[in-house]
Structure 1
Amino acid sequence: MLEPILENRISKDFINTLPPLRFRGHIELINRPDQIRKATRHLRRHRVLGFDTESRPAFKKGESYPVSLIQLATPDTVYLFHLTHIEIDDRLAKILASKRIKKVGIALNNDLDKLSELRPMKAAGFVDLSRIASEKGIVQQGARSLAARYLHQRLIKSSQRTNWARRELTEKQKLYAATDAWVCLEIYFLLLADNRTYLPPTETDTCNENGEASIQ
């Protein structure tokens, strides 16, 4: 296991020197209702899942778009639920509402608010990695910084602002989305195994580079 980087601040220049991080397992695009049963059956076998969502980017003040993609990751498979084609059915909703199955992600408040707009449900079992990192004294709590700290690799964010509402996703979008959910799963276990308490932040440090509240 790699030792985490101990400095509380990791510079963007340093992160840019790291090798790119890519999910190398199986990516399953779920864009038909008949695919949901098999996917959710597999996901229910796991106690912890990586979680993320993607939405069409907003470029004007006040704009907001619904979630286009839900990503749920196991160690070797990431399921991409393409909400442009399917709805959140009862089987998927049960996973999102399950207290038994942990869903680990970063800066979750906005994701969960948007999901509740698509389907009213009481989401449960969500763990925000930003909160765990904050409790350890880590200032930079975003996915890119945590991936650099614990995996010594660079999370590529170039596809973040692409159109996730399109009917057909590109291979680059699929890989980006899968990596984003899977890396949360990897970081979760590494955070739990890290018994260090990091140095207190200086006055110039910020609490959360995402600007998001943490929930659990």
Structure 2
Amino acid sequence: MNTTRPTPSKEEIALLPEFPRVGLDRITLVNTGPQAREAVAALRDHPAWGFDTESKPTFRVGEVSDGPHIVQLSTLQRAWVFQLFDDVCRDLVAALLAEAAHTKAGFGLGDDTSRIRSKLRVEPAGVLELNHLFRERGYRKDMGVKGAVAVLFQQRFIKSKKAATSNWAAPQLSESQLVYAANDAYAAAHVLAALQG
């Protein structure tokens, strides 16, 4: 008989202690070529990264997003938030995402990867949808970062709705945007490590 493993409800998750998020002291904003070269060198030292993207939300019918506007990559210790205005920075991120040698793990990555193909003109390689790993373990179809953190760590992952729907195409990102973006990738890195451990 095929049994589905239970996942905690919103109410149950609300009672859990908070997941220790990565703070601004361990988040690097990258928006120039030299910064991107440094970030890429640091990331290449690690075989797997937490991965996510953010795009400026669209609110009108028929409006098409030209995102992603930022790409987030994270190790277990540190996160990098890449803005894609600078040509050199954008090209270095694109090359990094096309490398099959590094695993890029995250949740709900279908939209992210199709936008990367469209904007960065590369085929993302080594992309690992964490929901697939949970399905293999008998959990419901889509776990998401909140459910995964609750199941694996018995902790509550905080996500700001205000930051989620903010302008990710802004030339200057706010501290709350940086923390929001970095932690999606940071939590994904920790979830992957726990699943592989």
- TM-score tier after normalising by the smaller chain length: 0.7 to 0.9
Say if 1:163 and 1:129 are closer, same or farther in 2 by CA, change over 3 A: same
1:192 corresponds to 2:196: yes
State the Cα distance separating 1:18 from its structure 2 match.
2.0
State the Cα distance separating 1:38 from its structure 2 match.
0.6
Alignment partners' CA distance in 1, 2:86 and 2:139: 38
| Cα deviation 1:92-111 (Å, max 9, x = unaligned) | 22221111111111111100
TM-score by length of 2: 0.87
State the Cα distance separating 1:31 from its structure 2 match.
1.6
Q: How many residues align?
A: 187
Higher helix residue share: 2
Secondary structure at 2:147 match in 1: helix
| Cα deviation 1:107-161 (Å, max 9, x = unaligned) | 1110011111112112211111010101111115111111111122222221211
Worse overlay, 15-24 or 174-183: 15-24
Q: What pairs with 1:151-190 in structure 2 (closer than 5 Å)? A: 151-158=153-160, 159-190=163-194
Secondary structure at 1:20 match in 2: coil
| Cα deviation 1:157-203 (Å, max 9, x = unaligned) | 2121122111211111111111110100100121234xxxxxxxxxx
Secondary structure at 1:186 match in 2: helix
Say if 1:63 and 1:70 are closer, same or farther in 2 by CA, change over 3 A: same
Aligned-pair Cα RMSD in Å: 1.8
State the Cα distance separating 1:29 from its structure 2 match.
0.2
Secondary structure at 1:123 match in 2: coil
Alignment partners' CA distance in 2, 1:165 and 1:94: 21
Tell me which residue corresponds to 1:23: 22
The residue type equivalent to 1:27 in the other structure is I
| Equivalent in 135, 142, 145 of residue 143 of structure 1 | 145
Secondary structure at 1:14 match in 2: helix
The residue type equivalent to 2:120 in the other structure is R
**Percent of aligned pairs sharing the same letter:** 33
Alignment partners' CA distance in 2, 1:155 and 1:44: 27
State the Cα distance separating 1:74 from its structure 2 match.
1.2
Q: What pairs with 1:1-216 in structure 2 (closer than 5 Å)? A: 8-21=6-19, 22-24=21-23, 26-65=26-65, 66-83=67-84, 85-87=85-87, 89-139=90-140, 140-158=142-160, 159-193=163-197
> Do 2:22 and 2:78's aligned partners in 1 also have CA atoms closer than 8 Å?
no
State the Cα distance separating 1:7 from its structure 2 match.
5.7
Say if 1:154 and 1:32 are closer, same or farther in 2 by CA, change over 3 A: same
Return 5+ residue gaps in structure 2 as ranges.
none
Tell me which residue corresponds to 1:209: none
Alignment partners' CA distance in 2, 1:108 and 1:31: 23
Alignment partners' CA distance in 1, 2:60 and 2:157: 26
Worse overlay, 174-183 or 7-16: 7-16
